[in-house]
């Protein structure tokens, strides 16, 4: 058959599954937008059956959760999930909304959920059927083929424990479908486990401070999962050297900036407080603190600067701009990035990612007291993305606030900024 046919409308997919008693279903689609559009398409289909009892039960769950999470009362899909019994679930939705969808699905009150492939790994929805419309997934570097493990996680959602003897996986034609590829993946062995062990400035500082010599740090690296499973040519001795190289390069950078004394294999006083910065890009933040970039910043400016480096560099958080004062401070931070990157490049350490000005602008406005609904409206960013940005930035600010030995004025403003960023509905 031709597996590159035109897409089938969501309402037709669900109607067909209902005819064969294959609901409830999780329908995996390739983008967030398509998930939302599919839920709307199905909700607008007047041929779908009407079940007053289920509507009442869904409304009761919605009202109960709205009391605890008032932010869902302004969600654009609040009416369709109650009246039509369908929902979209992806990273662009706020956490409280996803929790509502999960709770209704677990109670058997939804006919269909439209989700991206990332949902398969994180949520155990009770579904009789999963529908797969594409053999690709979207990552940070663009589109790529699904892995065997990802596809197996998706198909593994099929079948409700204690209710279904068999779960069903349905492949539907679409311009993005490749049935032959899916068939190959289903027969493939699960992907090999990949170690997430990485040499970081923070881990090096803490290990060196704890053990007092680099030989002990290297020994710890050799005990890691990465040492035994990282694919590389040669024997384990070669492998250990490859892993250790990452630590050695970072040691050279830290020695350059005076956070460690490489000759004496010791952590300096500044290195001890930098070791407490368990955040992304601690060296950048440490140098910004030492060079006074954060001095006399307002709470909102400080929140914006930290958001610019704590966020995903390639994520768009909206269409508003930073204030002029924050823009000037970001320029100073950019200068620090240039200096650090030059040293890292010379030592063979991968360069720092660019700052994210849209993240800085969104965090600045939120820290200034803008209402959540207005922030979402003004930025035009996905609410879920904004929530993760504020939560991630707020946690980074908490880490800075708790650093022992750092500038007290910096830790105080970090504490104030974390409090204002982590207000409701951010949790």
Q: pLDDT tens, 223-233? A: 765 555 555 44
The predicted structure's pLDDT at residue 165: 84
Residue 110 carries which DSSP code?
A: -
Mean pLDDT, range 238-246, rounded to an integer: 64
* 238 — pLDDT class (breaks 50, 70, 90): very low
CATH code of the region 10-187: 3.40.50.300
pTM for this one? 0.80
* 64 — pLDDT class (breaks 50, 70, 90): very high
Distances (CA, A) of 382 to 70, 316, 357: 18, 9, 16
| Pick from 333, 346, 246: nearest CA to 287 | 333
What's the rounded Cα separation, in Å, for the pair 91 and 217?
38
Q: Is residue 159 scored above 60 in pLDDT?
A: yes
Q: What is the mean pLDDT of the chain?
A: 87
CATH code of the region 279-427: 1.10.3380.30
Comparison of pLDDT for 141 and 87, the residue scoring more? 87
Q: pLDDT tens, 302-321? A: 999 999 999 988 889 988 99
| Contact by Cβ (8 Å): 317, 356 | yes
| Pick from 258, 257, 256, 250: nearest CA to 214 | 250
Mean pLDDT lowest among 29-38, 46-55, 218-227: 218-227
Label the pairing between strands 112-115 and 142-145.
Answer: unpaired
List the domain boundaries for the chain. 10-187, 197-275, 279-427
């Amino acid at each position: 058959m031709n597996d590159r046919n035109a897409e089938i409308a969501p309402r037709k997919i669900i109607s067909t599954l209902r005819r064969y008693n294959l609901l409830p279903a999780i329908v995996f689609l390739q983008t967030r937008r398509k998930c939302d559009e599919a839920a709307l398409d199905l909700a607008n289909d007047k041929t779908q059956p009407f079940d007053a009892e289920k509507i009442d039960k869904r409304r009761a769950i919605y009202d109960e959760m709205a009391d605890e999470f008032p932010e869902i009362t302004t969600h654009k899909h609040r009416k369709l999930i109650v009246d039509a019994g369908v929902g979209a679930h992806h990273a662009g939705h706020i956490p409280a909304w996803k929790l509502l969808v999960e709770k209704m699905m677990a109670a058997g009150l939804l006919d269909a959920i439209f989700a991206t492939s990332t949902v398969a790994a994180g949520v155990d929805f009770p579904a009789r059927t999963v529908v797969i419309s594409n053999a690709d997934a979207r990552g940070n570097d663009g589109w790529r083929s699904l892995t065997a493990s990802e596809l197996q996680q998706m198909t593994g959602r099929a079948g409700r424990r204690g209710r279904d003897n068999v779960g069903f996986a349905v492949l539907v034609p679409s311009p993005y479908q490749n049935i032959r590829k899916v068939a190959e993946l289903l027969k493939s062995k699960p992907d090999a486990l990949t170690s997430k062990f990485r040499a970081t400035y923070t881990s090096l500082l803490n290990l060196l401070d704890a053990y007092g010599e680099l030989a002990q740090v290297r020994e710890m690296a050799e005990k890691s999962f990465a040492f035994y499973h990282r694919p590389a040519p040669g024997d384990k001795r070669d492998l250990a050297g490859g892993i250790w190289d990452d630590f050695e390069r970072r040691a050279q950078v830290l020695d350059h900036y005076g956070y460690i004394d490489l000759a004496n294999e010791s952590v300096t006083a500044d290195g001890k407080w930098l070791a407490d910065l368990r955040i992304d890009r601690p060296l950048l933040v440490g140098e910004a603190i030492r060079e006074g970039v954060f001095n006399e910043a307002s709470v909102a400016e400080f929140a914006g600067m930290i958001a610019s480096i704590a966020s995903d560099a390639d994520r768009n958080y909206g269409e508003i701009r930073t204030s002029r004062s924050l823009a000037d401070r970001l320029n100073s931070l950019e200068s620090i990035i240039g200096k650090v990157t030059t040293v890292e490049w010379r030592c063979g350490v991968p360069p720092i990612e660019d700052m994210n000005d849209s993240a800085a602008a969104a965090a600045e406005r939120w820290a200034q007291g803008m209402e959540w609904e207005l922030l979402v409206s003004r930025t035009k960013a996905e609410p879920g993305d904004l929530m993760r940005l504020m939560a991630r930035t707020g946690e980074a600010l908490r880490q800075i606030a708790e650093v022992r030995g750092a500038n007290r004025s910096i830790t105080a403003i970090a504490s104030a900024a974390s409090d204002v960023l982590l207000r409701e509905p951010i949790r």
